[in-house]
Amino acid sequence: MKHRSAKIGLILFFMVLLFFRIPGAEARPPGLDVFLLTSQMQAQVLQGIIKVYGDTLLKFEDAEKGFESRMKNFDALAEKLAAGLRADLPGNENLSKYFTKLTARKRLVKKAGGRLLEQRRSGRKIQRADIEPLEKAAFQTVYAARQLMRNIVRKMDLAKADQEESKRIAEVLLLAEMQGHLLNSIKDAFADNINCNSAPADTFWLDLASFDILVTVYRAGTGLFPSEPANAAKTKALAELMALKHDVLMEGEAMYLVAKTCTPDLDAARAVEGAAARIGALFKVLIGETLK
């Protein structure tokens, strides 16, 4: 319930930013930079886990390299975040608490993911119990990341942002949230297939539903529709993102249809894994264009 309340709170916060402008000076609040770093760290963890699960089903030759590179990316981002978070200052105790938890949980992800890859390399059949440590670590890592992002948002000095800056901030926060939900839904689809679970995990549907809500708020607040040539790059990237999300939904459902047979739909799994690989580039365009 706490996890869902945090999601609802963030969505309402973004709606207020988009539709009720805050008068004031200029300059992007420093919290936006650390928010983005935290969001990117969450994305690296989820993409790394997807690599591990994709390898379990599809037997990729480069899965271990891909997983390790994402863990290293996380560490590099964590160094930058530690420098910008200022968690040692009075009043920032929650920032320190959840940053520490996030980095500790990531170490559990690395350990559990590495063990799963090793088991697959040895030729041993992966059982449900084998992925439980990684699933537990994944949930704890995402929870810590979301709590850290929540506390960062609460500390943003939005009174110093003018109308246009408030709009840009809200857009970036929405995009970061959209990315997290989409990646998490893909992770769950793979995990449930490895578990031979034909009943979709609640989070698979909840994350896709949250993505749709965020997209609606994003489009309503930005006026970002295909008829606006001034937003050509963002409009194109958003259109590709929506098509990609549709692929995740349809191919994810196809994966669940045969999950209970423990004979996965490999074509659907490849399509979902391919979608996961393209997500980062699309959000990079959307966020980059917004911050110009």
Q: Do residues 79 and 124 both lie within one domain?
A: yes
Per-residue pLDDT of the chain (292 residues; tens, 9 = 90+): 545 555 555 554 454 444 333 333 344 445 889 999 999 999 999 999 999 998 888 887 777 888 999 999 999 999 999 988 877 777 778 899 999 999 999 999 999 999 999 888 888 878 778 889 999 999 999 999 999 999 998 888 766 777 778 888 889 999 999 999 999 999 999 988 888 876 655 778 889 999 999 999 988 876 655 455 567 888 899 999 999 999 999 998 888 888 778 888 899 999 999 999 999 999 999 999 888 8
Q: Do residues 81 and 100 both lie within one domain?
A: yes
Q: Do residues 42 and 139 both lie within one domain?
A: yes
Structure tokens at 207: 């994350």
Q: Do residues 134 and 218 both lie within one domain?
A: no
Provide the domain count of the chain.
Answer: 2
Long-range contacts at 220-226 (CB < 8 A, ≥ 24 apart): 220/18, 221/14, 221/15, 221/17, 221/18, 221/19, 221/167, 221/170, 221/171, 221/174, 222/18, 222/167, 222/171
Q: Do residues 183 and 291 both lie within one domain?
A: yes
Q: Do residues 149 and 219 both lie within one domain?
A: no
Q: Do residues 18 and 68 both lie within one domain?
A: no
Structure tokens at 99: 């940053």
The pLDDT, as a whole number, for residue 21 is: 37
Q: Do residues 152 and 197 both lie within one domain?
A: no
Domain assignment present for 5 = no
Q: What is the phi-psi region of residue 27: left when phi exceeds 0, alpha when psi lies from -120 to 50, beta otherwise?
A: left
The pLDDT, as a whole number, for residue 197 is: 72
Name the helix (H) or strand (E) containing 119: helix 93-121
Q: Is 235 helix (H, G, I), strand (E, B) or coil?
A: helix
What CATH number is attached to the domain comprising 44? 1.20.120
Determine the structural domain holding residue 271 and report its residue range: 14-26+173-292
The pLDDT, as a whole number, for residue 28 is: 46
The pLDDT, as a whole number, for residue 177 is: 94
Q: Do residues 21 and 46 both lie within one domain?
A: no
Q: Confirm if 268 and 255 have CB atoms less than 8 A apart.
A: yes
Residue 77: other Cβ atoms inside 10 A: 19
The Cα–Cα gap between 106 and 112 comes to 10
Q: Do residues 43 and 18 both lie within one domain?
A: no
What pTM was estimated for this model as a whole? 0.84
Domain boundary (156, 187, 207) is at: 156
Structure tokens at 168: 């840009």
Q: Do residues 37 and 152 both lie within one domain?
A: yes
Domain assignment present for 7 = no
